[in-house]
Structures are given as structure tokens and as C-alpha cells.
Amino acid sequence: MDAKNSSVREIAVPVSVFGSLRRELEKEAGTLPTVHALHHAGYRAGAEAADAFSRSSGGDVFSSPRESFWSRLGDFFGKRGWGNLNHEEAHAGVGLLSSADWAEASVDEIDPDASCCFSTGFLSGLLSQLAGGPVAVLEVECRTRGEAACRFAFGSEGAIHDLYGHLIEGGDLDRALASL
């Protein structure tokens, strides 16, 4: 197979791979390097997955109404076993993607410091590739932390940075979004 003409191959692995990767990386490298490694790996995988999403959407992903785009994105993730992904417009500069059954989150053991690092990177890479420019993603709620759903805020790097700052100051998501 000619590498230049081949499309990105996809494989299926058990969802437990996310927890195994995180635990093993943390043993070897520590928490912060693990978060960075998973995020960077996810970003690269997401950027590569943009072609598969485009093909599954018939080519031009932006030719139909915005609601159709988000519905197709949800279908794309659902068919691949990631979970049901729903879009909500949260703010003029920030959108939210949420899932009550997201694959990377583990509800077997609640961890207040957990997050879906690979998924955050994956979504950023995918959306950045599709948009033709940087799209930052921040997980603002996680099922592994005991919350009802995984929720990913996305937008420009500046908007997501500002949102993160408001959240760190102790604001809840609604107040943080209102402060933008």
C-alpha cells in the first residue's frame, strides 16, 4: 500500500484502553506529562479523523445548515462507539458538546482530578482541521469526576482561555460563560 495515497486506517479497541493508557503513563511520567501526552496524541488523531468525518458527510461538511453539521458530528462519534454527542450553543463565542455516555470517562471509580484528555485533544484536532484554523477545547464537566455528563467547551483560544480563568476562580459554568 502506497503511504501517500492511503487513507487513514481505523481500528476498534476496548474502551478500557483509555484508563490503561492513563494509568501506565502516570506511573512512568507523572500526572501533568500524562495529560499533555494524551492531549497531543488526541489532537493528532482528531486532525487525521477529519478526513473520515468529511467522507462520511459526503465531502463538504459546511454545505448544509449548522444543525445538520452537529447532528452528523454526533452520528460520526456514535457510530464509532464514542457515545452520544450533543451540541448546544452556550455563548456567542463558545459552544458546548456534551455526552452522558462518553467512552473515555470511567464511572467505575470517581476521581475529582480526572478529565478526558485524549478526547479534548481529539475534538480540538478534528474541529481545527475542519475549520481550517485553531479551535480550542476544554472539558468543563466529566463523568469520571462524578458529574452527569462530559461537557466540552470549544471556541477560539482566547475565549477558552478566558473561560478557564473564570472557572479556576471558582465560578460555575453558567457564571463563567456570562462573564465572557
pLDDT 10s digits, 131-157: 999 999 999 999 999 999 999 999 999
pTM as predicted: 0.92
pLDDT 10s digits, 10-51: 888 999 999 899 999 999 999 999 999 999 999 999 999 998
- Is residue 123 situated within a structural domain? yes
- Is residue 28 situated within a structural domain? yes
- Is residue 10 situated within a structural domain? no
- Taking 3-state DSSP, the helix, strand and coil percentages for the chain, each rounded to the nearest 5, stand at 50, 15, 35
- Whether residue 57 is predicted with pLDDT greater than 80 in this model: the reply is no
Burial class (CB within 10 angstroms; exposed 0-12, middle 13-18, buried 19+) of 87: middle
Per the structure, the complete domain to which residue 76 belongs is given by 16-179
- Whether residue 3 is predicted with pLDDT greater than 90 in this model: the reply is no
Q: Total domain count for the chain?
A: 1
CATH number of the domain where residue 25 is located: 3.30.1380.20
